Amino acid sequence: MELKRVVVTGLGALTPIGNDVETSWRNAVEGVSGAGPITHFDASLFKTRFACEVKDFNPADHFDRRKARQLDLYAMYALVAADEAINDARLDTEDVDHNRVGVIFAAGIGGLHTFEEEAGYYAINADKGPKYNPFFIPKMIADIAAGQISIDHGFHGPNFGTVSACASSNNALIDAFNYIRLGQADAIVAGGAEAAIFPAGVGGFNSMRALSTRNDDPATASRPFSGSRDGFVIGEGAAALVLEELEHAKARGAKIYAEVAGGGMSADAYHITATHPEGLGAVLVMENALRDAGMKPEDIDYVNLHGTSTPVGDSGEEKAIKKVFGEHAYKMNLSSTKSMTGHLLGAAGALEALFTVKAITDGIVPPTINHEEGDNDPEIDYNLNFTFNKAQKREINAALSNTFGFGGHNAALILKKYKE
């Protein structure tokens, strides 16, 4: 069976550094930090009191009151990003067979805010017996963003959510890629959304000592690959990409941003939260992605790193990069856009894939911000080009985007410049 070619024809984003694709990308290139004091709740008693929140988001601008009652914040973010991508791709039109259009949308956690609200209500009113909002379950579950997108647009193709912690939306993109290249769909809206900046999310990650506690200077707290990094900065938002079969896209005159070349998955099989210190799972997932794409390490010009700003995670990924790419590792650009957006958990992979697409189309590598001269980790080789602090122009023919999640889940996606 001949596999079909798959391209990216639509992009959508709602992020801590912009409420659409162009604003988010411009701020990423300019090195703008999305971190600031938490406003979603009173965090004054928490170890971490800052995050990368979406700014100036009013549900009433996007949903009527009836619809808003049915949606957790994470699903709202998903619908807004998906709408932008669908409109960008001109996918919701009569010349597209909606039976052949699917939605695969990820969340690592899902409706945490809804769960927290309902659990809190019951705790306060336990003596009155159980009483729950009828929308509680369909607002909370991690697959509902995919369902809501399909309902809004009448897309009847493959429809589900993927959950693999911080690798979730990269897995969604790889699944969409495989469905399309196997001929089971013409197009799929794929991505991820997350909204966990609430007491349970921040408190839970604090108890694991996973979050940065640099409360005196939030804007510089996410500092991947720097010696003084002390944990990730939690972020929120959504990103969506329309993946489409090449001939289908060409037949309808769709704009083509880039081509999906391949995807890889692996498991660390090591620890419930920590990545392997030598990056063994990371090595395997990148090798699997290269093999799937039919590419050699020398074909990759840029890697959007998982780069969370955690001590063990960053050093393990650096070791893996050098093992997979050898001497070519020193010729590539590397960067972590989480230095600006924070870590969007289950939405991270989709947003970073979107930034990777924009890097290819615009010929520019977004930076890894917040690195100070001399703030080095002896475990990290600074002869590698981490694109510290300032974007760099370069022709990018192919790029790889890494995501690694709690449980040892790893996913890597390879995107390349579209050529006839």
Residues annotated catalytic, as ranges: 166, 306, 343
What is the phi/psi pair of residue 360, to 5°?
-65, -45
Name the burial class of residue 49, with classes exposed (0-12), middle (13-18) and buried (19+) by CB atoms within 10 angstroms of its CB. Answer: middle
**DSSP state letters, 131-188:** ---TTHHHHHSTTHHHHHHHHHHT--S-EE---BTBTHHHHHHHHHHHHHHTTS-SEE
Tell me if 141 sits within 8 A of 160, measured CB to CB: no
> Closest Cα to residue 5, out of 173, 246, 211, 189?
246
Residues written for the chain:
420
Written as six digits, the tokens of 227 are 């010696």
User: Is beta strand 392-393 parallel, antiparallel or unpaired with respect to 364-365?
Assistant: antiparallel
> In whole angstroms, what is the distance from residue 148 CA to residue 68 CA?
12
Classified as helix, coil or strand, 389 is coil
Beta-strand ranges (E) seen in 159-301 are 159-160, 187-194, 237-245, 258-267
Exposure string for 181-204, b = 16+ CB within 10 A, e = fewer: beeebbbbbbbbbbbbbbbebbee
Under DSSP, the state recorded for 55 is P
Tell me if 356 sits within 8 A of 399, measured CB to CB: yes
Angle at 349 between CA 346 and CA 352, to 5 degrees: 135
